[in-house]
Amino acid sequence: MLKMLMCKLNLRHAWHIESSEDGSGRYRRCTRCGKYDRDSDGSGFMH
Ligand SMILES: [Zn+2]
């Protein structure tokens, strides 16, 4: 699928904001490939 290709090429992920279990922080997780990304500044997409 094209969307999976977007994940594989690291072009775009379907980020979903989740909270850590102890509530001390947040992170993003891709709902398609499961990649984790720290939500440090909220706009840190690197291309
Ligand atoms: Zn992804």
3 state SS for 29-46:
EECCCCCEEECCCCCCCC
Q: How far is the CA of 33 from the centre of ligand 1 (A)?
A: 4
**What is the distance in A from the centroid of ligand 1 to the CA of 23?**
23
pTM summary value: 0.63
| Number of alpha carbons in the 13 Å side-chain half-sphere of residue 31 | 5
pLDDT digits (tens, 9 = 90+) for 9-31: 999 999 999 888 888 888 899 99
Q: 22: CA distance to ligand 1 center in Å? A: 24
45 CA distance to ligand 1 middle (Å): 13
Q: Give the domain range for residue 29.
A: 12-40
Residue at 18 is within a domain: yes
**What is the overall mean pLDDT for the chain?**
81
The tally of domains found in the chain comes to 1
Q: How far is the CA of 6 from the centre of ligand 1 (A)?
A: 7
Query: Can you tell me the distance from the alpha carbon of 17 to that of 37, in angstroms, rounded to the nearest whole number?
Result: 9
- The answer to whether position 4 is within a domain reads no
